[in-house]
């Protein structure tokens, strides 16, 4: 019996407007750093992959003897480095802080709140699991209007490990007070969301809004959040 439903944030419940790569450009420009939108867009997937090791090593000493106390700053520094732009960690911290201040333009999909509301009314425990490089997931969810419907909100920065690794999923299960096989996780990335959830025994659902993964057939694949309700 399914008792809890967890959701990814970006690409599942909400999206960036302006798009994420443009926000990075604006935040960098506000700190006197010039980088092209095209370069950021190309570098984001690579930086996102590198981010996994950054948050895993949070609080540890890196090879240069620096303490990784600001993982968001390290993410921004890595992102810009992959664009051919070198900045100090201090500047990177200012840029990522500016990035999150611009996140007032993080916009919920039209089907997000209606789906959360309906699932809440049906008595499901609801939660958000997200890999974020800085920012408070609770504040973000509150700004998006999700908080009244959520029981759990867990971020990679808080846990010190991100999807697809197990700790973030296990932390959500612990807080929700449910077993893995009593839960569903809905996310838009197969390698991170589907495989990560399945790795700890949570039932995965792939949200494929743009029909980019038509060949996925080893888990339920939906085009809208409304279809998640129909699976229950």
Beta pairing partners, 184 = 5, 203
Around Cβ 166, how many Cβ atoms within 10 Å?
A: 14
Q: What is the pLDDT of residue 162?
A: 85
What's the pLDDT score for residue 173? 97
pLDDT of residue 68: 42
> Checking DSSP bridges between strand 14-16 and strand 106-108, what pairing results, if any?
antiparallel
Q: Give the fold, CATH level 3, of 4-16+105-231.
A: Rossmann fold (3.40.50)
- pLDDT, tens digit only, all 232 positions of the chain: 999 999 999 899 999 888 889 999 999 999 999 999 999 999 988 887 776 665 555 544 443 333 344 678 888 999 999 999 999 999 999 999 998 888 656 799 999 999 999 999 999 999 999 987 666 899 889 999 999 999 999 998 888 888 999 999 999 999 999 999 999 999 999 989 999 999 999 999 999 999 989 999 999 999 999 999 999 9
Sequence ranges of the chain with CATH classification 3.40.50.1000: 4-16+105-231
- CA–CA gap between residue 148 and residue 209 (Å, rounded): 25
Residue 88: count of CB within 10 angstroms of its CB: 10
* Residues 204, 230: Cα–Cα separation, whole Å: 15
Q: Where are the alpha helices (DSSP H) in the chain?
A: 20-30, 37-56, 71-81, 89-101, 112-121, 137-144, 156-159, 166-176, 195-199, 226-231
Q: Quick one: which of 190, 184, 193 has its CA closest to 165? A: 193
**What is the C-alpha separation between 193 and 199, in angstroms, rounded?**
10
Query: What is the rounded distance in angstroms from the CA atom of residue 72 to the CA atom of residue 166?
Result: 21
CATH architecture under which domain 20-104 falls: Orthogonal Bundle (1.10)
Q: Evaluate whether 56 touches 165 at the Cβ level (below 8 Å).
A: yes
Tell me what pLDDT residue 20 has. 85
| Parts of the chain belonging to CATH 1.10.150.720 | 20-104
Do 219 and 191 form a contact (C-beta atoms < 8 A)?
A: no
d(CA 30, CA 34): 9
pLDDT at 74: 87
* Measured distance CA(38)–CA(34) in Å, rounded: 12
């Amino acid at each position: 019996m399914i008792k809890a439903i967890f959701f990814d944030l970006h690409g599942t419940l909400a999206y960036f407007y302006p798009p994420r790569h443009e926000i990075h450009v604006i935040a960098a420009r506000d700190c006197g750093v010039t980088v092209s939108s095209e370069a950021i867009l190309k570098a984001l997937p690579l930086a996102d992959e590198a981010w996994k090791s950054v948050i895993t090593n949070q609080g540890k000493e890196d090879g240069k003897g620096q303490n990784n106390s600001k993982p968001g700053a390290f993410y921004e520094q890595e992102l810009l480095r992959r664009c051919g732009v070198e900045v100090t960690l201090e500047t990177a911290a200012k840029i990522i802080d500016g990035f999150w201040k611009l996140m007032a333009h993080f916009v919920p999909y039209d089907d997000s709140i209606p789906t959360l509301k309906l699932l809440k009314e049906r008595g499901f425990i609801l939660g958000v699991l997200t890999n974020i490089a800085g920012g408070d997931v609770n504040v973000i969810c509150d700004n998006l209007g999700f908080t009244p419907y959520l029981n759990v909100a867990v971020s990679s920065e808080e846990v010190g490990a991100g999807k697809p690794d197990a700790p973030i999923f296990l932390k959500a299960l612990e807080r929700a007070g449910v077993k893995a096989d009593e839960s569903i996780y809905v996310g838009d990335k197969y390698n991170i969301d589907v495989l990560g959830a399945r790795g700890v025994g949570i039932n995965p659902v792939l949200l494929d809004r743009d029909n980019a993964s038509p060949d996925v057939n080893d888990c339920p694949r939906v085009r809208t959040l409304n279809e998640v309700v129909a699976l229950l």
